Every structure is written in structure tokens, then in C-alpha cells.
């Protein structure tokens, strides 16, 4: 028996159709990029991460535009998480 694996085309992800799925993931702050203190939470071990609000989304996410309100000062992890990358697509699929 032969199983054929078909790679379905992935629609292009752009700023216009981004669903900000990555903005509900935990984001550790590992270096200083200028994230404002109001968006930082510190755990019992002193580790810093982005504050998530009661809805589970990052506190820096503008809920109306689904864009980052601190884009120029976002953490390195957010900078490395490329739109349309494998990780991006996987996050979107998990949220569906």
C-alpha cells in the first residue's frame, strides 16, 4: 500500500489577514528591548514575561487592529516569530 502525502497550499499570511494568534502564546523577556513596565509580569522566580490579560491575549495587543502597540519595543521572541513561518502557521492551526 502506498500512501501519498499531499502538501496543501498555505494561504499567504499578511498584515491584512493576520489573526495575531502568536499574541496569546507565552513570551519570555530575555533581553532589554524597551518593553514598557506596564506590559511586563514577573513570576515568583524573578523571570519576566509579557503580561497577558484575562482574555489570554498579550496586553500590548491592540484589540481593535490586532496589531502590536509596542512594535518598535517588542521582545526578541516576537521579533524572531516571522509572519507566515512554520511556527506562525502552526499557531494559527491550533487556534482554529
pTM for this entry: 0.77
pLDDT confidence bin for 6, thresholds 50/70/90: low
Percent share of the chain, pLDDT over 70: 89
Give tens-digit pLDDT for 15-52: 777 888 889 889 999 999 999 999 999 999 999 999 99
Contact at 8 Å (CB) between 91 and 17?
no
Amino acid at each position: 500500500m502506498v500512501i501519498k502525502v499531499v502538501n496543501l497550499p498555505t494561504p499567504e499570511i499578511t498584515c491584512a489577514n493576520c489573526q495575531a494568534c502568536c499574541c496569546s502564546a507565552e513570551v519570555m523577556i530575555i533581553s532589554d528591548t524597551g518593553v514598557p513596565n506596564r506590559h511586563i509580569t514577573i513570576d515568583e522566580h524573578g523571570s519576566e514575561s509579557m503580561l497577558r490579560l484575562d482574555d489570554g491575549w498579550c496586553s500590548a495587543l491592540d484589540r481593535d487592529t490586532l496589531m502590536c502597540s509596542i512594535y518598535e519595543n517588542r521582545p526578541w521572541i516576537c521579533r524572531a516569530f516571522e509572519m507566515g513561518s512554520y511556527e506562525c502557521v502552526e499557531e494559527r492551526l491550533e487556534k482554529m
